[in-house]
Amino acid sequence: MEFKQIIYSEKEQVAWITLNRPKAFNALSMRLSEELVAAIEMVRQSIALKFLVIKGAGNNFCVGDDITEMEKWGDANGIMRRVRNYQNMANQLEELDKISISAVDGFAVGGGLEITMACDFVIATERAKWGMPEIDVGITPGWGGTTRLARLIGRRRAKEVNFIGAIYPAQRAVEWNLWNRVVPNDQLDAEVNKLLEVLLTKNQQGLRQLKFIINKGVECDLYTAQGFEAMSGALTGAVSGAWKIEDADKGAGVIAFMTKNDLWKKRRGLSTNFWTD
């Protein structure tokens, strides 16, 4: 896709996406949303990329959906299809096997805030503002404003944010565990680069595993989450060299299937009709 409303670039192991409708405060037009989906897919498919930074042009992050285009969404079915498309975009962003960072300046409201909630880190300027003002437009959030928000800051505060529609200062987002850090207005890029410098030194496979087990673990019961931890521990040992297990197949089963050798004949001969009477 030719990008007209975002700026996409790659530098070494980092992808940079800049939402680029500064005159509209980077509102998510239908075109911009399509480009963002395409860009996230490019990042998802890449093996070389390890990190993604999302920012906005013109001293604002994003003010959410372009309300002036909503009449183009169609009937109730069309609206639901678009909302589900946005949900898929946020899910793909959250599920990337890369570490994602939202670099927030100015407004991050509505869909803009929902983008930050799908990222792993959020760094914001002191002048940044956030909120979910959909209630005063007569609509409700569709891709994180009630779901991820409640998981991040709790049910009661999520109700406060959505029911009232206030616009909050950046520091409140840090206090409520919604964002990570607030920096001086002229230090946003520098702080993002400092974080990238630290993360680039890490065991990248370890980061991928940690992201996976944390994201999955918070959505399930304790014992299931501990299962993810245990399997991750075993995988860490395996990729660090301790992969040889005496009674493991070591690929013999796959080779047996391909060659139909004696092992395959024995296994399938014993199994195929066992207890089928």
Active site includes 12?
Answer: no
Q: Tell me: the pLDDT tens digits for 108-143?
A: 999 999 999 999 999 999 999 999 999 999 999 999
Q: Tell me: the pLDDT tens digits for 150-201?
A: 999 999 999 999 999 999 999 999 999 999 999 999 999 999 999 999 999 9
* Mean pLDDT confidence for 19-35: 98
pLDDT at position 35? 98
> In whole angstroms, what is the distance from residue 209 CA to residue 188 CA?
28
pLDDT at position 216? 96
The residues, any chain, with a CB within 8 Å of residue 117's CB and separated by 6 or more, are 90, 144, 148, 149, 152, 178
Q: Tell me: the pLDDT tens digits for 196-233?
A: 999 999 999 999 999 999 999 999 999 999 999 999 99
The residues, any chain, with a CB within 8 Å of residue 238's CB and separated by 6 or more, are none
pLDDT at position 214? 97
206 class by beta-carbon count within 10 Å (0-12 exposed, 13-18 middle, 19+ buried)? middle
> In whole angstroms, what is the distance from residue 194 CA to residue 206 CA?
20
> What letter would DSSP give residue 24?
G
> In whole angstroms, what is the distance from residue 214 CA to residue 229 CA?
9
Name the average pLDDT for the chain.
97
Catalytic residue among 71, 134, 160, 191: 134
- For the cut 90, the answer to whether the pLDDT of residue 104 exceeds it is yes
Share of the chain above pLDDT 90, in %: 99
Q: pTM for the complete prediction?
A: 0.94
Yes or no: say if 165 and 219 are a contact pair by the CB < 8 Å rule. no
Catalytic residue among 34, 94, 114, 160: 114
> In whole angstroms, what is the distance from residue 260 CA to residue 266 CA?
10
Ordered by start, the domain boundaries in the chain are 6-200, 204-239, 246-277
Antiparallel, parallel or unpaired: β 51-56 and 129-131: unpaired
Buried b (16+ CB within 10 A) or exposed e, 227-262: ebeeebeebeeeeeeeeeeeeeeeeeeeebeeeeee
Closest by CA to 28, choosing from 55, 59, 62, is 62
pLDDT at position 33? 97
pLDDT at position 191? 98
Q: Which two tokens stand for residue 15?
A: 């992808």
pLDDT at position 7? 98
Active site includes 191?
Answer: no
Sheet holding 107-109, edge to edge: 107-109, 129-131, 168-169
Yes or no: say if 54 and 101 are a contact pair by the CB < 8 Å rule. yes
Under CATH, to which class is 6-200 assigned? alpha beta
Q: What is the dihedral of CA 165, 105, 143, 97, to 10 degrees?
A: -150
pLDDT at position 1? 83
pLDDT at position 170? 98
Cα 243–Cα 210–Cα 41 angle in degrees, nearest 5: 105
